[in-house]
Structure 1
């Protein structure tokens, strides 16, 4: 098929590249001229494992191309994916101006039947709004609007796209259904399901999935905080409840809160949808409150250790991205933690394998950026671990003890065993476990 993808963020670029990998002709469209030029020159603008290889191959073989011109990009398209940002407004509602603006433009450009696909995470009812925007200047026989939410995890997004657990497609149109089925058939050859439903149910499925996972995270963080007070070990609790098939093992790791481009925004948006529809979604409000407080936990541990005053102290921070294997810092707990440390008078030295360029745009010269994880420890009073990159899992503890002024680690991801830290003679505080 001929496919147009409007928007080249994490979702749009992965979507376009992976569809090109299965033999489709894909044009990716973005208003950012500099970004488009970089992609034309072979530069992948985001860090996502596995993406660069597919990007290079499909660009070289002319199946993947880029433009800033919407009319050119959709000229021969059978399907048009809208992978545009939906940032939260001040009230938590999703901003649909980008999506509806492009839909308005498309209403003047489409000349033959196309399937318009909402790939962005959007509130319930967005497909109807997109349909209205298109129908202002376009015969309704020339298009169908489909909801096709993405379930891509940053860090493994390419794998998730090529081998999806399931594909959700919301449409009442039989014509659109057949096209979408043909489009996704190469990705579900091992038998994973394609679920067809109405558009509003598809939109709700995406929000419900992310909000449920966020709820598991916040619940486990609450359990971890209580474990510290009663003398239980959250790792053992996690293993115990995770063995129950009704609960499952995933998303039970306590830490410093969730971040990223999806969970914070999607939970807010679903809560706002509930509010607009006069429903008091109490669990979601609690999830957001817990997550906000959890980002403060590591800061409180650091301040308490230093007797309530960290003025003049230097804290090394390992990990800036909201999760490993990405350079995405949107709603990253590390950003909140660094801001708090600076406000309390501490100096901060940081290292992250991929996200430092993005963080420099926020802090500039207010913090020190280091070339590797050990450089960050030099003359630091303590180490705070915020993102669980693999490179941090088995460091040289003898080097850590040598470089830090005192052997003090605050671990926001529970990377190390408490007993081992005790044997190493390191003051070690983690989440939901005893302090050495």
Structure 2
């Protein structure tokens, strides 16, 4: 393929063999697909990616009937070609090796050592594709005492410290550790894996050398705690949970209004003064217990209930309008229907509609990556199980009709 004929996408010259399932690996592959890479998603015949059945809810067709595609699966698999191959069979292993030989990247999230018995590990595949970039995603990495454990996002959120920082204060009602509302460790592992793959491809393009990437959910969870890690490492004191409040700033938290919730982030005394004046309680700015941030932090248990009563007297919309006009940092806590109806979200085109073979169209969330020269490319909706098996094997490996029929009869594909 000449440079002039390359599609105008960042990764239009890259082919990825995706042996991953559930979320971390598919999220990485979907990022690469959005950037133009050709993704060949390999699934087990008959059942496929576990998330296909993680419903309800399921995608509905034009008549309101459920399809076979769970919403969970749809979240992480757009832009891919789906093939079914039984890698436990010699014929299936041969297909994967043939595809790896003409691919730039292999992604996999099998248990440590599981693919080696099939001859599909990095050491085996690099013999037939020396410049291959091979990314393994596991719960705990390829070495260490936990390497053979299965990795689950929820468990890793706890093990990696995230839940020690998330949740209401222990001394308040509802206090205790809390996981995130989405599988944040899986998602961040997918993002870090995307970056690692692109770095390895850049290295390959400069040197001709492929490499192995060892990604672990626990590593990612530890790394992503950012300033909280440093709060501990610089003091030796483990940070504690503050719920929706801030350890060092008051008020910097959520409040219930008369019809919903808002966030108020008064970062200085002037913003606090404006906040309580808008709320009709200017005396709270003059009270020496509350006039400065250090004093407010010291007396938060007295002040916050008073502020909570004040905020309840107006609606969410009223507070947002008044606080924004006064320059007090604030924001709503939106339900998802409000998110997708938000004018900024609409202006940024964060919902897309793609053609779907059984539902007609499917609503999906757009990629947040906005590139001027190589824009995101939506190659297609999340594919049906095995939707592209025959076309991929015919186009890329030159399998004929008789070969395909024989593989079907043996239940290899």
TM-score normalized by the length of structure 1: 0.29
For CA contacts below 8 A with separation 6 or more, give which structure has more relative contact order: 2
Q: Which has the higher helix share?
A: 1
Q: TM-score by structure 2 length? A: 0.30
